[in-house]
Amino acid sequence: MGLTSRTFAVTLLVVAVAAVAGAVLLWPRVRGPRPLRVAARVGMIVLCQVTAIFVVMVTVNNENGFYASWDDLLGNANSGGGKPLAGPGPTPTPTKPDYRVKFASYSQGFEKASVRGWKSGTKGDVIVWTPPQYKKAEYAHTRFPVIEVLHGIPGTPHSFLRGMRLGRIMQNEITAGRAEPAILVLPTITPDRVNTGCADVPGKSHVSTWLTDDVVQTIAHNFRTLPAPRGWAVMGISTGGYCAARLALEHPDRFAAGAAMAPDNPEQAARGARSPVWLARNTNPDVQILVESSKQDPESPPKFADWITSACHPPTVVTTLRIDNGGHNWKTWAGMFPAAFTWVSGRIEAPRAVPLAPSAAP
């Protein structure tokens, strides 16, 4: 029974109602010595409270998509995920890494695979959405731009399917002519179940390498993609928004643009890593950054966008978008994505026909 399934929620509700009904019926019928009667009635009250709390917790989780599964809740979200690295460097890789992966049908038009990080030494889930044009005969020799979309913490790639119908949002933008068809790639940002802010942190996890090398190479070998950096962008929400800004600033050779929606504090960084503000102030990459904020979000106030903007200098270009209402939640982020998709689409290459080698991705 899945954590976010309707069956589980209904079952909990039924148990909670039954606990209250049982307490009402049994309360006057409790017999025995006074201490026993008190203990029994206290037990009934506790049971009613506990079941009610569980109902509320599951309802809030289902509404906000904090945890997508039992594995996510228990910290084992990436099936087959790697263990935290023991040494200061990534695990040695074979002479010829094999990036071929079988992506299986998953949900809402997405495909999913467990991907090995040949360079990072880790492993994690990657979910992919291709636009309807991708499978049409007239696009058989067309390569498409790619947008990596990064989840927050807590969360997994599946959170985007639970918290919002991300593929439908993108499809609506494409149909309306506000965005070009693009491949959406949703990788885990915690392949070793540790938050590094998407940086390579020795002894913990090489998440930057995972996202900018392993994921990029895997998608390029299995899908018809445009080359980086002009054909690639990265975007994300909350911690994923922080990561999007950080990765775009640190890896302009991989991403032409980065969109940070409600990002975490951009001045903070894991020990040994560089923050988005530090990168903006000291590296001056040729990349474009979007920071989208809500005036009502206390966890990611508009001043975070101001800090990034003031730190950047040409050729780095920063755009800020601010909405009046909405907190740090999925409803707010879902409202941010259409404008972010439009912005990103205008800063990376559109799909174009490219001669394909016989061994090219399908």
**CA-closest candidate to residue 313, choices 341, 335, 285, 273:** 285
Domain assignments of the chain as residue spans, ordered by start: 6-64, 87-353
What is the sign, positive or negative, of the torsion defined by CA atoms of 144, 116, 204, 154? positive
**CA-closest candidate to residue 288, choices 326, 324, 310, 317:** 317
Indicate the range of 9-13, 82-86, 258-262 predicted with least confidence.
Answer: 82-86
Supply angle C-alpha 31, 33, 38, rounded to 5. 80
Q: Whole-prediction pTM value?
A: 0.80
Please provide the CATH number assigned to the domain covering 87-353: 3.40.50.1820
Phi and psi at residue 317, to the nearest 5°? -120, 130
What contacts 296, CB < 8 A, 6 or more positions away?
A: 324, 325, 326, 327
Which pLDDT belongs to residue 172? Answer: 97
Q: Could you read off the pLDDT of 278-307 as tens digits, one per residue?
A: 999 999 999 999 999 999 999 999 999 999
d(C-alpha 316, C-alpha 289), whole Å: 8
Indicate the range of 87-96, 119-128, 239-248 predicted with least confidence.
Answer: 87-96
The amino acid sitting at 247 is: L
Decide the pairing of beta strands 232-237 and 146-150: parallel
Q: Is the pLDDT of residue 266 over 50?
A: yes
Q: Could you read off the pLDDT of 200-234 as tens digits, one per residue?
A: 999 899 999 999 999 999 999 999 999 999 999 99
The amino acid sitting at 242 is: Y
